[in-house]
Amino acid sequence: MIFRQLFDSVSSTYSYVLASRRGGEALIIDPVLEKVDRYLKLMEELDLKLVKAVDTHLHADHITGLGALRDRTHCVTVMGDESKVDVVSMRIAEGDRLTIEGLSLDVLYTPGHTDDSYSFVAGDRVFTGDTLLIRGTGRTDFQNGDARAQWESLQRLLRLPEETLVYPGHDYKGDTVSTIAEEKRFNPRLKARDADEYAALMASLNLPNPKMMDVAVPANIHQGLHQEEVARRGWAFSAEEAKALIGRAGVALIDLREKGERERKGAIPGSLHAPYADLMDNIDKGGLIHELAMSGKTILFYCAFGERSAMAVQAAQDKGLTSARHIEGGMAAWTKAGGERR
Ligand code: FE2
């Protein structure tokens, strides 16, 4: 496995790059906006293709690199179901698996620091965001933080195998990695006997708000792709308009989501499944979507929220597939408009 821990010294944030091999797909956890150039240079040096950018939660102390990475690499942005971010490409929940080529991360919902905090387990290591820090835990006094919920989340993390490596979202003292066993023994916050004692401890901290909070939170909420440009060019249908197109012989409806998303949220009847990860092969000469377009069909892409489909329309148009369109707002808009699902 290729694994890199990157540090932003301004916000003391750790970001993590994972990939299964050189020349393969990569994923980044908690990227920082100011470091985006650095990450992309690293991708180039290691011959990696960034396909997913994930935030463990909505950050208050730095601006996320999610939107910038999506705009520059067309990667998929990922956050939890509970996150107040306006639009991401994909949402995840407890029990999901976050996958890229050759790697699969187990998704654990670990609320408490915020109500949208997640941890990710990848084999021998866990990425704990701001839930469990080295000899500390993330504060619980803003963004719907909840010390009792965090206590429960911490108990879950502590049930992971003792040798599991702990990679946190921040460190302010210079530590880089710990283990579950070490944190059990030496983390002072975990000395509390129960949720009540932990909540009392957290309530006594009286921490000042992060310096960047008033800038970072609003910026991090607005990370959605601007789908207006695709609409302005006449390449978008509203969910309501799309309803009238379903079942027409001249329309090929293409679902770009992953298998797990289709199982969880249902799919539009009659749609073909062609995941976004395979888009470039599918729109190239000889690919499924290319052939459908050449046979005279309108290609109607959709995904979860309209981000992947908007990027797919642009990519297909760039390849000369002039009939490429998408459903604005994706499956979420479709469901809201009362569209049929199976
Ligand atoms: Fe945080």
* C-alpha of residue 182 to centroid of ligand 1, in Å: 22
User: Which of 269, 240, 234 minimizes the C-alpha distance to 255?
Assistant: 269
Distance 17 CA to ligand 1 centre (A): 19
Instruction: Report the candidate in 122, 130, 110, 124 with the shortest Cα–Cα distance to residue 162.
Output: 124
Domain limits at 276? 226-336
The CATH number that applies at residue 276 is 3.40.250.10
Q: What tokens appear for 91 in the block?
A: 């949402």
Q: What is the pTM of this model?
A: 0.96
Are 167 and 306 members of one domain?
Answer: no
What is the largest distance, in Å, between two alpha-carbon atoms of the chain? 68
Q: How far is the CA of 58 from the centre of ligand 1 (A)?
A: 7
Domain presence at residue 266: yes
| Cα-to-centroid distance, 1 and ligand 1 (Å) | 27
What's the 242 CA to ligand 1 centre distance in angstroms?
39
Output the CA 195–ligand 1 centroid distance in Å: 21
Token pair belonging to 30? 């908690």
Q: How far is the CA of 80 from the centre of ligand 1 (A)?
A: 14
- Write out pLDDT tens, residues 115-149: 999 999 999 999 999 999 999 999 999 989 999 99
What is the pLDDT confidence band of residue 179, given thresholds at 50, 70 and 90? very high
DSSP helix/strand/coil, 80: strand
Question: How far does the centroid of ligand 1 lie from the alpha carbon of residue 13, in Å?
Answer: 9
Token pair belonging to 203? 């309530």
170 and 254 together in one domain: no
Is 296's pLDDT higher than 90? yes
- Contact yes or no for 89/275 (Cβ under 8 A): no
Domain edge (last residue) among 163, 190, 221? 221
Question: Does 231 lie in the same domain as 202?
Answer: no
Rounded CA gap, 6 and 324, in Å? Answer: 38
Give residues whose Cβ lies within 5 Å of ion ligand 1: 130
Q: Give the residue from 221, 242, 259 where a domain finishes.
A: 221
- Please state the domain count of the chain: 2
pLDDT in tens, 204-245: 999 998 888 999 999 999 999 888 889 999 999 999 999 999
Q: Please report where in the chains the tokens 């460190």 appear, as a residue.
A: 171
**pLDDT of 32-48, one tens digit each?**
999 999 999 999 999 99
Residue 108 alpha carbon to ligand 1 centre in Å: 16
Q: What is the DSSP string of 32-51?
A: BGGGHHHHHHHHHHTT-EEE
Residue at 341 is within a domain: no
Judge whether 342 lies within some domain.
Answer: no
Decide which of 193, 221, 249 is a domain's last residue. 221
Measured in angstroms, how far is the CA atom of residue 179 from the centroid of ligand 1?
A: 20
Residue 76, in any domain of the structure: yes
For residue 178, the CA-to-ligand 1 centroid distance in Å is 19
* Mean pLDDT, range 86-101, rounded to an integer: 96
Check if the beta carbon of residue 308 is closer than 8 Å to that of residue 329.
no
Regarding whether 215 and 240 lie in a shared domain, the answer is: no
